[in-house]
C-alpha cells in the first residue's frame, strides 16, 4: 500500500481519520497541520482505492525528533500498516540522537519491536464543561519562552513555540495558547503551575501531564478535569535531560 506525503486535499480526511482512531474531534489548525509541509516535519498518508486509510507525522527539534498521529482506519487494521507508517515516518525524519513518541496501549507493541523503550506515563484529561478561564492572553517575550521551554523539555522546539506565542506568565512560568485546543504550561514552581492551569482552563481542552508531576495531576483532578486513558512516553536513543515535574501541560499527544 503506497505511503506518501499529504497534499492540501488530504488534510481534512487525514484529520478525520486521526479523530476516529483516537475518539476525538480533530480539526484544522492542529499540531498535524503545523508540521504538514514544515521544513522541520511533515504528515504522511496511506491510500487505498482512492481513500485514506492511514496517517503518520514527524517533526525534528534539532537533535531530537518526534513521531505522532500514527492512525489506521478500522478497515485496514491487522495487516501491518501501523508498523509500515511508523517506519516510513522514521525514514523521512532521518537520523536523530533520540526519537520520542507518546504511545497508546494499541501502539506500544509496534514501537517496542522497533526499538523504543518506555520512560513513564502521561496522565490525560479533558477539561470540565463548566470551566471558566480567569487569565487574559497577550504577546510574550520569545527568547524567554524558548529558554524556559529548553530548560523543561531539554529540546529546541522553536516551531512549536512560534505557533503559540500568546499566553500568560507568572514569576517563573508560562502558559501558552496555540491555535488548537491545548494549553502547554511550563512552571518550575508548583504553586505557579497550579495557578497558571486554573487561569487558562476552559471547556474543550485536552490536557496531559507526566505522571511524575504529582502536583499537576492533583491540580487537574481538583479542578474537575475528567481523566482519559493515558499514554506512555517512549524513546529510541539516549534519555533527554528533561524536567517532567516542571511540565504542567502539553502541546498535544504528538509531542509533549
Number of domains in the chain: 2
Let me know whether 26 and 85 are in one domain: yes
- Same-domain status, 147 and 224: yes
Q: Which residues contact 97 (CB under 8 A, 6 or more apart)?
A: 63, 64, 237, 238
Are 135 and 245 members of one domain?
A: yes
Work out the percent of the chain whose per-residue pLDDT is above 90: 92
Q: Domain check: are 215 and 143 in the same one?
A: yes
Residue 211 lies inside a defined structural domain of this protein: yes
pLDDT digits (tens, 9 = 90+) for 194-237: 999 999 999 999 999 999 999 999 999 999 999 999 999 999 99
Question: Per the domain annotation, does 154 fall within a domain?
Answer: yes
| Cross-strand bridge partners of residue 166 | 139
In-domain check, residue 101:
no
Contacts of 217 (CB under 8 A, 6+ apart): 123, 209, 211
What stretch of H or E contains 171? none
> Residue 24: what pLDDT?
85
Task: Assess contact for 83 and 110: CB atoms under 8 A.
Answer: yes
Q: Is the residue at 21 inside a domain?
A: yes
Are 57 and 148 part of one and the same domain? Answer: no
Q: Is the pTM of this model over 0.75?
A: yes
What's the DSSP call for residue 76? G
Identify the sign of the CA torsion 206, 93, 237, 97: negative
Q: What's the pLDDT at 190?
A: 97
pLDDT at position 23:
87
Task: Output the pLDDT for position 49.
Answer: 87
Task: Answer whether residue 38 is part of any domain.
Answer: yes
Same-domain status, 146 and 245: yes
CATH number for the domain harbouring residue 190? 3.40.630.90
230 three-class SS? strand
Amino acid at each position: 500500500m503506497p505511503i506518501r506525503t499529504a497534499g492540501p486535499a488530504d488534510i481534512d480526511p487525514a484529520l478525520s481519520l486521526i479523530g476516529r482512531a483516537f475518539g476525538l474531534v480533530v480539526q484544522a489548525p492542529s499540531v498535524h497541520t503545523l508540521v504538514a509541509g514544515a521544513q522541520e516535519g511533515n504528515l504522511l498518508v496511506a491510500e487505498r482505492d482512492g481513500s485514506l486509510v492511514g496517517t503518520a507525522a514527524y517533526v525534528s527539534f534539532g537533535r531530537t525528533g518526534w513521531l505522532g498521529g500514527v492512525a489506521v482506519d478500522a478497515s485496514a487494521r491487522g495487516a501491518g500498516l501501523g508498523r509500515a507508517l511508523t517506519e516510513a515516518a522514521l525514514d523521512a525524519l532521518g537520523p536523530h540522537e533520540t526519537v520520542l513518541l507518546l504511545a497508546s496501549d494499541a501502539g506500544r507493541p509496534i514501537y517496542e519491536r522497533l526499538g523504543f523503550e518506555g520512560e513513564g506515563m502521561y496522565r490525560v484529561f479533558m477539561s470540565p464543561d463548566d470551566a471558566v478561564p480567569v487569565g487574559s492572553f497577550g504577546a510574550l517575550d520569545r527568547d524567554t519562552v524558548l529558554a524556559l521551554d529548553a530548560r523543561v523539555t531539554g529540546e529546541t522546539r522553536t516551531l512549536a513555540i512560534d505557533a503559540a506565542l500568546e499566553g500568560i506568565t507568572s514569576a517563573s512560568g508560562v502558559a501558552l495558547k496555540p491555535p488548537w485546543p491545548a494549553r502547554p504550561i511550563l512552571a518550575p514552581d508548583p504553586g505557579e503551575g497550579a495557578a497558571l492551569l486554573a487561569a487558562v482552563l476552559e471547556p474543550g481542552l485536552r490536557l496531559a501531564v507526566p505522571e511524575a508531576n504529582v502536583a499537576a495531576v492533583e491540580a487537574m483532578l481538583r479542578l474537575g478535569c475528567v481523566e482519559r486513558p493515558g499514554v506512555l512516553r517512549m524513546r529510541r536513543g539516549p534519555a533527554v535531560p528533561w524536567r517532567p515535574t516542571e511540565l504542567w501541560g502539553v502541546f498535544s499527544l504528538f509531542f509533549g
